[in-house]
Chains A and B, each alone.
Chain A
Amino acid sequence: MKPFTYERPASPAEAAAAAARHPAAKFIAGGTNLLDLMKLQIEAPPHLIDVNGLGLDGIEPMAGGGLRIGALVRNTDLAADARVRRDYALLSRALLAGASGQLRNKATTAGNLLQRTRCPYFYDTNMACNKRQPGSGCAAIGGVSRQLAVIGHSEACIATNPSDMAVALRALDAAVETIAADGATRSIPMADFHRLPGDTPQRETALRPGELITAVTLPAPVGGRQIYRKVRDRASYAFALVSVAAIVQRDGSARVALGGVAPRPWRVEAAEPEVARGAGPAMRAILDGARPTHENAFKVTLAERTLGAVLAEARG
């Protein structure tokens, strides 16, 4: 951990302004990922802006029937919220499938969206990693890749996004509200929030330098059977090999997003009509263009079988 300075602003605008003054600063909320990365010097921000005091910890109904979830709402609180459990069960289930009780007590909504990959080569500073050190190469390609991406990756990076919550948010058509240093606010659809790596895998989101997440918004409830199925080697406290977030309506139409397979939550809206024809055709369309390694080719099969089980459960 490099020495760093620290401040604790009182408002979102102040926080964004502080970020403008300290271009290499990081916002810190729960710190469940950032602190680990700082100890390993994978992240070495010279300045931390603690956003825990910004009052962004409420869950408010929105006009039109949606919910606005403050950036600082803890994962535990979000998963337990009665409105979320009733109207957005997918989100609650995804949250509870992630991490551990202790981590969820600390981890925040915005922090969850910004957690970094769990690629083991990203975590070992002796290894080449374009995400950690742009231009150094990717030691994961040709290496131990069982957990890594099968689609959406690039020659520069085959890491996956580890979040469960983000997969649910993607299926729920959530959006991310932000504030910039100049006070400007905007709303970024989840579809655009996480970037694909291309040749700049170090840039993981659509956030601009210093831009602060203030909330995540959910549109009006869409109903349907909402299932989050996370497949992993042990029963709890493990990252997904594959996860399937599905919202299946009575008429058979469905939304499907995948976790564990790509650098971002993986959803292909254009493929969703295929769900009516079954898990096989649907997954072939969703994972069209997949380029797995020999170690993770099973994920393609696993995704299809998992979707099949989810659809059977939804219709059962």
Chain B
Amino acid sequence: MKFDTPATTNPIDRMTLVGQPLDRIDGRLKTTGKAAYAYEHQDAVRRHAYGYVLGAAIAKGRITAMDLAAARAAPGVLAVVTAANAGPLDKGEMNTAPLLGGPQVDHYHQAIALVVAESFEQARDAALAIRVDYARAEGAYDLAAARDTAEKVKQSASATGDFERAFAAAPVTLEATYTTPDQSHAMMEPHASIAAWDGDALVVWTSNQMIAWGAGELAKTLRMPREKVRLISPFIGGGFGGKLFLRADALLAALGARAAGRPVKVALQRPLVANNTTHRPATIQRIRLGAGQDGRITAIGHESWSGDQKGGQPETAVDQTRLLYAGANRLTQLRLAVLDLPEGNAMRAPGEAPGLMALEIAMDEMAEKLGLDPVEFRILNDTQVDPNDPKRPFSQRQLVECLRLGAERFGWRQRNPRPGQARDGRWLTGLGVAAAFRNNLVMKSGARIRLNSRGGITVETDMTDIGTGSYTIIAQTAAEMMGVGMDQVTVRLGDSSFPASAGSGGQWGANSATAGVYAACVKLREAVAQALGFNSADAVFEGGEIRAGNRRVALGQAAGAAELVVEDSIEFGDLDKRYQQSTFGAHFVEVAVDSATGEARIRRMLAVCAAGRILNPKTARSQVIGAMTMGVGGALMEELAVDRRHGFFVNHDLAGYEVPVHADIPHQEVIFLDETDPVSSPMKAKGVGELGLCGVAAAIANAVHNATGVRLRDYPITLDKYLDRLPELA
């Protein structure tokens, strides 16, 4: 199905199931431990062995010698895989550094060997007996030091009007530099895979957000035909972008299984996750705002510097600044430096998350300079069209409504605009606000649907559920379209033998994947109508039946003795060119800062989101509160600490890389505006999983400023950065 004109009324609009806050259909499996994650599919294979990954001990250089004798001789060892014996390997399109390093080493903890043994403990013991000699090379590990070597990224540059002149002429200006640190996805389930060969065909149970990408990349890396690779990933214990791509666990499991002649399971050991896999790169961001005394922005400029391995990508931290606020004169620019730290790549809301961490503090600072309320300042600078191309409207844009409703519900009026004034015992308290913005991406997505003689519906798509609720919203979609109950629908996900879907990333998954299921259901409705002698245009699907006039027939009749199977996909036309499709929100936060120690603690949070039709308010809320929690981490604690001498992230475990615990998150509330977006898809939905993160950290930073009077521009906002600037103790 091609989607190239805005949606009109369709069966989804009934919203008997879609849009309802239904429980997860996979909830029982998960809460009873029966949902099998990547490392737990041992029952699907026979006599599996265990792999243990050895990571490089240096950040850059060459391996000059590797003594594998002790490892090979160790008890239980079946194989030792290195680049020297793995056979010729290609590199995936989406990998910057090779997943199996050697003799060249590109980053710390790059995998350089896999030991396969009968037990995990034997594999670990043997891997740690490998002796490696290195010739270290000089590397660049410090973004600030490499800043001047960064080159402009062409496709990121945009300019409208004459920014420099307008900024110079503006009566009120702000120029400030903000920094965000490297961050780790720190998902609960580490990257893990089980690989099994059957002749020249390979099956890998893995934990991957994008099945079709992963299968293609694995085939390319192993130089084998794509159709000989099958990836299976029914449940994923968190990804956040860290599992968008093929990573070392899957490749090494495949290589280990080939070398050992047995199925092999590999999980990246927790200390490897930070340096072996990808991370959100650090940024340095320079923001310049110019406005009239009336508070209207006349010049808005945002530049960002980040680093990555040679051939890598920039963190696109300026993208939202092209679209979020009005202003006739605009400038954005990315610059990319070559660093020899591990590979930077997408992490939940890449671009917008760190970009808004800076921009939304700048907006708070500018409001203060103008003597305007930060909510009103944002409302004043709203735009309903793409500011770079005023003929191009937003498909839906309710930022103002989010801000107004949020301010009312949160009690924004209680905020004292003079910072450092509100006290509660030993605590300094403050309120902060930030806008949330994340573009809505759409991706081609397919599904296969089977109708059996009992009227049961089975949906098959390689879409993934990374904890988001994909199983549930897909079942809701199919049930709504076919007029059956939720208990009549079975959803099968995460298998590359199913039709390729949008996958889970960039918050495109929910809308795109359900739209693909919608397309297949439209086809099935036609097939059912045709089989049973109905005209699909005037047939109603309801109560497990197809009905027209007085005639009604059970759906299962259409299947006959066999199954009725259809397959289709949704393909998106140019509506995303004709309209700017984005999601909007507003975050409100109350913080308390200990007047003596400077410890900043969240008291309450509110997110108001406008993101098209909310397919399931319960799972959507879960995504948003999870994102808000991640935003608390980003604001107050998360930082991969760089050792600038040795070139690695030092705090590479969950004791050293702190993320919020329950005690950090006392109260969260989420409101979804009633919105449908017919431009986004037949579902009229958009994504929320990343929107929920965008802006959170800045709202917290702004609340800390309101509480203490200290303006902080370097994340994370830890007490050491402002202890000496807190108000005098009473």
Which A residues form the contact surface with B (CB < 8 A)? 1-3, 39-41, 118, 120-121, 123-127, 139, 142-144, 146, 229, 231-239, 241, 296, 298, 301-302, 305-306, 308-309
Contacts and interface: CB of A to CB of B under 8 A. Distances in A.
A123 B274 CA distance: 14
B628 to A, nearest CB: 15
Contacts of A121: 650
B596 A306 contact: yes
A3 B125 contact: yes
A237 B596 contact: no
**Majority secondary structure, B binding face:** loop
Contact of B723 (A3, A238, A296, A305): A305
Interface in B598-629: 598-599, 601
Interface string B640-655: 0111011000111101
Given A146-B641, A301-B724, A1 B653 contact: no
Given A118-B655, A120-B656, A306-B597, A235 B664 contact: yes
B597 A302 contact: yes
A309 B730 CA distance: 10
Interface of B: 57-58, 75, 121, 124-125, 128, 271, 426, 594-599, 601, 636-637, 641-643, 645-646, 650-653, 655-656, 658, 660-664, 716, 718-720, 723-724, 729
Contacts of A125: 128
8 smallest beta-carbon distances between A and B, as pairs: A309-B596, A235-B663, A126-B57, A298-B720, A236-B663, A144-B650, A144-B641, A231-B597
Contacts of A298: 719-720, 723-724
Given A41-B128, A127-B646, A234 B720 contact: no
Given A3-B125, A120-B656, A232-B599, 20 more contacts: A120-B641, A120-B651, A123-B656, A124-B652, A126-B58, A139-B646, A144-B651, A146-B720, A233-B716, A233-B719, A234-B663, A236-B662, A241-B720, A298-B719, A301-B723, A302-B597, A302-B720, A302-B723, A305-B729, A309-B595
B723 to A, nearest CB: 6
29 contacts: A1-B124, A3-B125, A118-B656, A123-B656, A124-B271, A124-B652, A127-B646, A139-B643, A143-B650, A144-B643, A146-B720, A233-B636, A233-B658, A234-B664, A235-B661, A235-B664, A236-B661, A237-B661, A237-B663, A238-B658, A296-B720, A298-B719, A302-B723, A305-B596, A305-B597, A308-B596, A309-B426, A309-B594, A309-B595
Contacts of A306: 596-597
B165 to A, nearest CB: 41
B599 A120 contact: no
B643 A143 contact: yes
Contacts of B646: 127, 139, 143
Contacts of B729: 305, 308-309
Contacts of B656: 118, 120, 123
Given A143-B645, A236-B661, A306-B596, A1 B601 contact: no
Contacts of B598: 302, 305
Contact of A1 (B121, B271, B596, B663): B121
Contact of B125 (A1, A124, A231): A1
B426 to A, nearest CB: 7
Contact of B124 (A39, A123, A302): A39
A46 B496 CA distance: 47
Contacts of B650: 120-121, 124, 143-144
A127 B648 CA distance: 11
Contacts of A308: 596, 729
B249 to A, nearest CB: 18
Nearest to B426: A309
Given A139-B646, A301-B724, A231 B719 contact: yes
A29 B10 CA distance: 65
B597 A309 contact: yes
A40 B269 CA distance: 10
B688 to A, nearest CB: 26
B601 A235 contact: yes
Contact of B719 (A41, A144, A239, A302): A302
Contacts of B124: 1, 39
B370 to A, nearest CB: 33
A128 B713 CA distance: 34
Contacts of B664: 234-236
Nearest to A236: B663
Contacts of A118: 655-656
A187 to B, nearest CB: 33
A41 B129 CA distance: 10
The residue in B271, B426, B599 that gathers the most chain A C-beta atoms within 10 A of its C-beta is B599
B599 A231 contact: yes
Contacts of A123: 271, 653, 656
A276 B651 CA distance: 40
A126 B130 CA distance: 13
Contacts of B643: 139, 143-144
A306 B645 CA distance: 33
B591 to A, nearest CB: 12
A66 to B, nearest CB: 33
B651 A234 contact: no
A39 B121 CA distance: 9
A211 B641 CA distance: 38
Given A1-B124, A238-B658, A233 B637 contact: yes
Contacts of A235: 601, 661, 663-664
Nearest to A306: B597
Contacts of A237: 661, 663
A52 to B, nearest CB: 22
A218 B642 CA distance: 43
B631 to A, nearest CB: 14
Contacts of A1: 121, 124-125
Nearest to B720: A298
Contacts of B719: 231, 233, 241, 298, 302
B128 to A, nearest CB: 5
A2 B597 contact: no
Nearest to A143: B643
B719 to A, nearest CB: 7
Contacts of A229: 597
Contacts of B652: 120, 124
Given A120-B656, A121-B650, A124-B271, A2 B125 contact: yes
A309 B598 CA distance: 11
A163 B250 CA distance: 39
Nearest to A303: B597
A140 B165 CA distance: 49
Contacts of B663: 234-237
A241 B720 CA distance: 10
A3 to B, nearest CB: 7
A159 to B, nearest CB: 14
A296 B426 CA distance: 24
A305 B423 CA distance: 18
A235 to B, nearest CB: 4
Contact of A234 (B121, B426, B660): B660
A236 to B, nearest CB: 4
Nearest to B729: A308
Contacts of B660: 234
Contacts of A238: 658
B657 to A, nearest CB: 10
A233 B718 contact: yes
A120 B57 CA distance: 15
A117 to B, nearest CB: 12
A68 to B, nearest CB: 32
A78 to B, nearest CB: 22
A121 B645 CA distance: 13
A235 B666 CA distance: 11
Contacts of A126: 57-58
Contacts of A234: 636-637, 658, 660-661, 663-664
The residue in A118, A229, A233 that gathers the most chain B C-beta atoms within 10 A of its C-beta is A233
A102 B653 CA distance: 19
A232 B664 CA distance: 12
